[in-house]
Amino acid sequence: MPDVATDWGVHLERTLAERSFESVYQPIVDLSRRTVVGYEALTRFAPIDGVYHAPDQWFARARALDLSAALDAAALSTALEGRGNLPRNCFLSVNLEPESLLAAEVQHVLAQHGNLAGLIIEITEHERWDWPVLQPVVDRLRRSGAMFAVDDAGAGHAGLQQVLELRPSILKLDRALVEGIDDDEAKRALVEMLGLFANRLDAWILAEGVETGGEARVLANLEVPLAQGYFFARPGAPWQGLDPGAVRDMLESIDVGRATLHQFLDPVTPLLEGQPVIAAWGASVTRWTPVVDTDNRPVGMLSPESAFSNELANGLIVNVTSTLQEVAARLSTAPGDCVVPVLVTDDGGRYLGMLPIRRLLHALSGGH
């Protein structure tokens, strides 16, 4: 039998040549809506001589043998194969090493897909990156529609300097912060602090490794918007739904009367003022598209009807810390028909997301 410890180079070369691995997908859940809003693509490898080795071990060996970019490119290509069939209203998250983003083979895979709207590139950081070198690649991918996430927030692996440089759209809470959070006041306090930090960055918190209903309910009440873990569904074939038991059990303790708007937002990508109107529906999953100025402050809403008349629809603009009752009260005295979704901003007036009127009414009626 070959010595796995000394033959990893052979195994990796063979695996790359034969593509003896597959992508599996784990649902990412909107905690307030109890629905799947995205999937993380994960790689599973064939056993070596009947012995299973964890994916982390494969990728660690690839880094040590200078095969990280080749393995990342191959895994990325496989993960993106079914992207065209991704359900509406869902994004796809993939994992890449920072140095792999600079590699020609990885950039080639991404370039083949053209429009990267709905793709989250999750940076798996093991060493300090050279931001002046990485930034032009990140900026180019953002212009193609991609967004970025940082893994292991709060665990020390993702330093604050890296987070401030990247300005990710998603901060992923490390499993160590999530485990047992329903019985740990210190963890709850830290997650609240990270939530405030994420709000300042216009980022979303995603809790990974959720394994119990208690953890899910506490995270929901802490206004963590997104989560994934075995409690909801294990990684599997594309594009699976949630475990029925999780749907029944989670979120029973949310107090909508005290809830602010964080957990009810629909993060629809806005249109920059002055862009061609057709861009509003190129990757949109809703008939309403927010329009923002160059400072990311909302100036109105577009629908097919308003676009045809070349006019923006005016909607109510509220701060994200408003309660549902406060929004309803303002809508009741606002001029015009209450059909345009509410635009939600941070403390600086920057666009965060929108709140459809139907979702507001559903939440106020007790449906969360």
Instruction: Give residue-wise pLDDT tens across range 109-144.
Output: 999 998 999 999 998 766 678 899 999 999 999 999
Contact between 42 and 240 under an 8 Å Cβ cutoff? The reply is no
Chain-centroid distance of CA 228 in Å reads 10
Q: How many domains does the chain have?
A: 2
Do 292 and 156 have their domain in common? Answer: no
Identify whether 1 is part of a domain.
Answer: no
Do 99 and 174 have their domain in common? Answer: yes
Contact between 325 and 232 under an 8 Å Cβ cutoff? The reply is no
Do 95 and 169 have their domain in common? Answer: yes
Residues recorded for the chain: 368
Do 143 and 248 have their domain in common? Answer: yes
In angstroms, rounded to a whole number, what is the distance separating the alpha carbons of residues 287 and 330? Answer: 23
pLDDT value at position 254? Answer: 47
State yes or no: pLDDT of 253 exceeds 50: no
Q: What's the pLDDT tens digit per position in 46-81?
A: 998 888 999 999 999 998 999 999 999 999 999 999
State the CATH number of the domain containing residue 67: 3.20.20.450
Identify whether 262 is part of a domain.
Answer: no
Closest CA to 127 of 100, 148, 105: 100
- Name the pLDDT band for 337 (thresholds 50, 70, 90): low
Domain finish residue from 192, 218, 253:
253
- The dihedral formed by the CA atoms of 122, 89, 243 and 40, expressed in degrees to the nearest 10: -20
Residue 297 belongs to domain spanning: 271-367
pLDDT value at position 94? Answer: 97
Q: What's the pLDDT tens digit per position in 5-54?
A: 558 999 999 999 999 999 999 999 988 777 889 999 999 999 988 889 99
In angstroms, rounded to a whole number, what is the distance separating the alpha carbons of residues 315 and 321? Answer: 18
Do 91 and 236 have their domain in common? Answer: yes
Do 276 and 248 have their domain in common? Answer: no
Residues sharing a CB contact under 8 Å with residue 221, sequence separation 6 or more, in sequence order: 253, 254, 255
Query: If DSSP codes are grouped into helix, strand and coil, which group holds residue 181?
Result: helix
Do 339 and 233 have their domain in common? Answer: no
Query: If DSSP codes are grouped into helix, strand and coil, which group holds residue 234?
Result: coil
- The 10 Å CB-count burial string (b at 16+, else e) for 293-326 is eeebebbbbbbeebbeeeebbebbbbebebebee
Residue with tokens 């987070």: 163
β pairing state of 226-227 and 21-30: antiparallel
Whole-model pTM over 0.75: no
Do 179 and 328 have their domain in common? Answer: no
Do 362 and 324 have their domain in common? Answer: yes
